[in-house]
């Protein structure tokens, strides 16, 4: 697949152990009673996503996918009476125009059931938006012969989920042909990339939360396996080294307030489905330029 060149008072125990300067910053961030910072970051992210794509359609689609993902987390926090902020979008003038979005929880997670529900709600909500975005985008994309288009194309790695959707929408491609995606399909691909990254079962990513909710302190073995997978991927895609550093810093998962009560069988089954979704959405080598 190719893309054209782009013209608090209830803090958790782990939070309390943060270094003084970091804790001071987080206290100020979490104690804000207004949403002015979220609003400013939202509009800045509109600007950066438009700047890298020159497409309002791309910008709107990416922000909608990110908003769906974070509001899934937020609404589940509300369900479990966990105080949380509205989403903070992260503008960045990279090839995506953003580094995603986050919400901040202002207190400890009551139990592994709540942790699991909050973690799975984000990726599932984001996928509900990303999949139809990809379908519509692919219908408006072009089938090309790469050599006839010239250089400067971004060749994007296709996760299994994108390949399945592409086959269902476009059918088997003729020999030597590829798909030049439009801005909407690219936005959907970014949504899958962000989902796969968040479902990496390590540390304090969504996948790490899911693994901890499933296995408790034994999840460190899952974390280590995921770290090794990412380290191997870094041999073929150097930017993963930055991610490796981040998940190494935040490798340890803080406990829930009730860290003993296990998940019920329904959640355990859904947890296994989420690991399958990770396999379907993770991209070992996301981007090549050629």
Mean pLDDT by 10 residues, the chain (290 residues): 46 39 52 79 96 94 97 96 93 91 90 97 97 96 78 80 96 88 95 95 93 94 92 89 86 90 95 96 83
CA atoms within 13 A on the CB side of 28: 6
pLDDT of residue 288: 75
- Residue 284 DSSP one-character state: S
Q: Which of 112, 98, 15 is nearest to 58 (CA)?
A: 98
pLDDT of residue 69: 97
- Evaluated on CA atoms 215, 217, 218, 222, the torsion sign reads positive
Helix axes 112-139, 56-79, angle to 10 degrees: 160
CA atoms within 13 A on the CB side of 110: 12
Helix axes 112-139, 160-170, angle to 10 degrees: 40
Q: What is the pTM of this model?
A: 0.86
Phi, psi of 68 (to 5 degrees): -60, -45
pLDDT of residue 31: 54
């Amino acid at each position: 697949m190719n893309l054209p060149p782009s013209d608090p008072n209830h803090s958790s125990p782990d939070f309390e152990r943060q270094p003084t300067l970091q804790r001071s910053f987080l206290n100020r961030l979490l104690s804000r009673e207004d949403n002015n910072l979220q609003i400013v970051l939202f509009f800045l992210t509109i600007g950066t996503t438009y700047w890298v794509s020159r497409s309002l359609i791309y910008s709107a689609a990416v922000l909608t996918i990110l908003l769906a993902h974070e509001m899934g987390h937020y609404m589940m926090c509300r369900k479990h009476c966990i105080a949380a902020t509205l989403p903070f979008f992260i503008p960045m003038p990279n090839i995506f125009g953003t580094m995603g979005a986050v919400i901040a929880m202002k207190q400890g997670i009551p139990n592994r059931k709540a942790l699991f529900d909050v973690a799975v709600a984000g990726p599932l909500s984001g996928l509900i938006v990303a999949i139809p975005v990809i379908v519509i985008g692919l219908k408006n994309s072009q089938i090309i012969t790469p050599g006839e288009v010239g250089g400067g194309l971004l060749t994007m790695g296709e996760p299994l989920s994108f390949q399945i959707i592409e086959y269902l929408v476009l059918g088997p491609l003729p020999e030597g042909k590829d798909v030049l995606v439009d801005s909407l399909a690219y936005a959907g691909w970014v949504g899958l990339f962000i989902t796969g990254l968040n479902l990496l079962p390590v540390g304090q990513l969504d996948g790490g939360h899911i693994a901890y909710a499933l296995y408790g302190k034994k999840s460190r073995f899952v974390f280590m396996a995921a770290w090794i997978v990412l380290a191997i991927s870094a041999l073929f895609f150097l930017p993963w080294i930055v991610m490796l550093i981040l998940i190494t810093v935040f490798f340890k998962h803080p406990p829930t307030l009730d860290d003993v009560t296990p998940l019920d069988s329904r959640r355990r089954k859904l947890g296994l489905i989420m690991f399958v979704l990770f396999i379907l959405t993770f991209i070992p080598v996301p981007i090549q330029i050629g």
